[in-house]
Structure 1
């Protein structure tokens, strides 16, 4: 059996945290989450929020 880790964050719709945005997923090989995967999720979140702000 394989375990996966999904990276995601909440976004607000109409002022309420209603939307879950999935950034990416990985096949879990160890208990510790690789730092590069956390940084990747943070960068995708940053890009998403920048795009959303510019396109209101």
Structure 2
């Protein structure tokens, strides 16, 4: 699960029970395909973490 705002979350579409539970608790759920989770390991939150290496500075890829 990845929190997009206080009441909106992104969830793997392959987890319908989690989606239903969150919706019952008034969350807006954005389902997403997470096809390669076994290949990459981790979840949606892991894919969005910043990567900072010792010999580099953070970069803004969206600015």
- TM-score, length basis structure 1: 0.26
- Say which structure is richer in strand: 1
- Say which structure is richer in helix: 1
- TM-score, length basis structure 2: 0.25
